[in-house]
Structures are given as structure tokens and as C-alpha cells.
Amino acid sequence: MAIDWSRLNIDPVALQAQIDQLGEVGAGPEGLYRPVYGEAWIEAMDLLDGWFADAGLVRRRDPMGSLIGRVEGTAPERVVLVGSHVDTVRMGGRYDGALGVLAGLASVRALLSAFGPPRKTLEVIGLCEEEGSRFPAPFWGSRGICGRIGRDEADLLLDGEGVSIGEAMRAVGLTPERIPDAKRHDIDAFFELHIEQGPVLENEHVDLGIPHTITGLRQIRVTVSGRQDHAGTTPMDLRLDPVVATADMIGRIAAAARTRGRPAVATIGFIGVLPGAVNVVAQEVSFTVDTRHSDADLRRRLIADIEQTVDEVGRLHGVKTEITILTDHEPVPLDDSLRSVLRDAATEESLSYLEIASGAGHDSQVFAQHVPTAMVFVPSQSGRSHTPEEHTPIEQVIPGIRTLSRALHHLAYAK
């Protein structure tokens, strides 16, 4: 029997109101900041809890502190999960992560209203600590669900004030010793709607993105050591200047990524100079390189090019170099069958879509290594993200939610 999709009603005014209200939580003069287990994060999760209750969802907090709203199906032992996170980067915006939670809630509310209880259980989740902006613990909530948190991590991971993530958990009533209890075996699929966080969809004038891969990432710190000397009395040809060497390295690193073309990127995010005085030839420079590519082999080649560049330029300038790996993970492919469901859903909604790689990391990359996982991207206005200026007009959000709703129906109602 044909499904009457005209019954699926997603209220854009109500959704925009939620986006705006949640977007005020943790807002300051320079943007949003909702660090996990902090006051703003607690307020945001409590606000979501109320909206979950209004939608008729049964709510609980898992041992990590992630908020889960549940609609039990007629075959309740299997779960289709949808959601994202509400923690933010410093000086962040109101769409990254939070939109995915609100989109999941809007989808499930609309499905219940139109079609009644599902066959498989539907759950909406607001995950904790995706960004790693307070603790060096990105994907904390999703890693907990997937059983990927080490025994000592809660005590060893510290914020900038020396507070461990375990202490922060206890301060909000959570018990770090229960972290292993967060692991789940009942999830059949995970969906995450997200802003693209880049300009590709907008530039290509398409409605949606359906990511095929979440990019591989390596972050390194390069230390360049020279010789500290007087800026006025040391001739240029007798200097061992790490700043000049660093400038040469950075130009060549950027060129290595540019020549490989999209989606290769290499970003210099931090530069520190010692002693940092205007009249002193520096002793040392440290800088970071964030390298990303969605193809595993091409990622390795780009990394090799960068490491070779650092070595060769260092020797050319007579300075010492050291590379420290901060983060390193391979690209993560998303599930082919769920992507097919999303493609069909977008086509049925008469929407254009682009199959792309995600250049940013997401909780989906953790879930994808354990359960079938897929994502839907909606455009980011001017490609902005991780900034107070990030925005997606509501008329560009609703098509993504309708596509997500059809996919959830396929998994939780039809199958």
C-alpha cells in the first residue's frame, strides 16, 4: 500500500524557534560556548529534555550523560538511533551539532503523528562531548556507547584547569565507574543530520549532501629549533633562524595540499615563537598542521610529502626539526545500504543531492565502525561553521529532515 507522505508535517516555525532558543544557551559576546558538563551544557540538555517530553518520548541519561528519548516499537529489542551533539567549540555557532538533535526530534515527532508507533524502537540522542573543546576527549559520548573508552581515560583526560573528565562527571551526578555500562548492542542503525560546514553544496546549488566517507585526519606539532641571537648585530647570512625556516615550510605544505586538489587540505592552526621579542632572532618555533583526505592512500602520500618537506627545509636552513603526532585516524566509510536509502528518499522528495566526503569529523565516524551509519548534510550559508556566523535558512533545513524522516520510516516502520 502506498504511503501517504502528505501526512508528514514538520513545522518550520516551531523548529526555528527551538533552534533560536537553544542557540541562546551559552551565548556570549563572541559566540556560543557549551563545554561538556559545564553550566551551559547542562542547561541545554535540560531544555532538550523538556522538548523530548513534549514529543511523548521516554527520557533517560546514559552513564556518559548523553540524553536519550525513546519511542518503543512493537518489536522493541532493536533500535534505530538518530541525533547529534549540543556541546560547542569556543566562539561557536548554533547549528553545528544542535541542529542534528533537533532534526532527529522533529523527524520522530512527525513520524509518530503521521504513522503511529514504529515497529523497531526509535531513539533520539543528544550526545555529550563531540568537539573535545573542554577536554581532549572528542566523541566521548559515542565512544562510550561503542565501548571504546579506555579504563583510565576518565582520570587522565584533563581540561585547561587541571580538572579530570571523571571529576567533571561526578560534579554533575554521573559515576565514571559506570562508563562501561554505556556500551550498547541493540542499535541497528545510526543517522545524523548535520550542516555541511563548508561551501560545496551552496556553490553547486544542490539541496542535500549524502556523505560517502568521513575524512581521515592527522594533526601534528612541528618544532623548529634554531639559535637565539641579537636582531641587530647578527648578519643575515650567519643566522639559524627558525622563523624564516618555518615560513618556507608553511608555504610548501600549503602548496602540497593545493596541488593534490580537493578534498586534500592542510591547515596551519597555531604558531608559537620563543622568546617572541621584536628585537631577538628566535630560538624556537612550534606550529601545528591539520592534514585531511578522504582517500586512505592519498592521505598517506600527502602526509609523507609534508614530513619530507619539514625535513628538507630544516636541513636547507640549518635548523633542527621534530614532528609530534597529536591525532591520527584513517578515513571512515559510511554504510552503502543506508546511503542508498537516503538517495531514494531524496529522489522521492524531488531533491537534488551530491555524494561527497565529509571534511569534518563527526560522532558518525565512531558509530560507523560498529553499526550501519549514514549522514545527511544540509547547506551551510557561505560555507560558514565553527563561528557565530554559521547559519542555514529553515527552508534549506526542512528538505533534509523530510529525507531523514523517510529513511527512518524505511528502517523503523517498513523493514
For the stretch 75-134, pLDDT in tens is: 878 999 999 999 999 999 999 999 999 999 999 999 999 999 999 999 999 999 999 999
Comparing 76 with 176, which gets the higher pLDDT?
176
| Contact predicate 194/375, CB 8 Å | yes
5-214+331-414 and 216-329 in the same fold? no
Q: What percentage of the chain has pLDDT greater than the value 70?
A: 100
Backbone angles phi, psi at 242, to 5 degrees: -70, -20
3-state SS of 70-119? EECCCEEEEEEEEEEECCCCCCECCCCCHHHHHHHHHHHHHHHHHHCCCC
pLDDT at 392: 97
CATH fold for the domain made of 5-214+331-414: Aminopeptidase (3.40.630)
Count helices and strands in the chain by DSSP H and E runs:
12, 17
Q: Which CATH number is associated with domain 216-329? A: 3.30.70.360
**Contact predicate 127/367, CB 8 Å:** no
Read off the pTM.
Answer: 0.90
Confidence (pLDDT) at 94: 95
Going from N- to C-terminal start, the domains of the chain cover 5-214+331-414, 216-329
Q: Given pLDDT bands bounded at 50, 70 and 90, which one contains residue 151?
A: confident
Average pLDDT of span 155-168? 96
Rounded Cα–Cα distance for residues 127 and 173 (Å): 17
Which residues, listed in sequence order, are joined to residue 373 by a DSSP beta bridge? 190
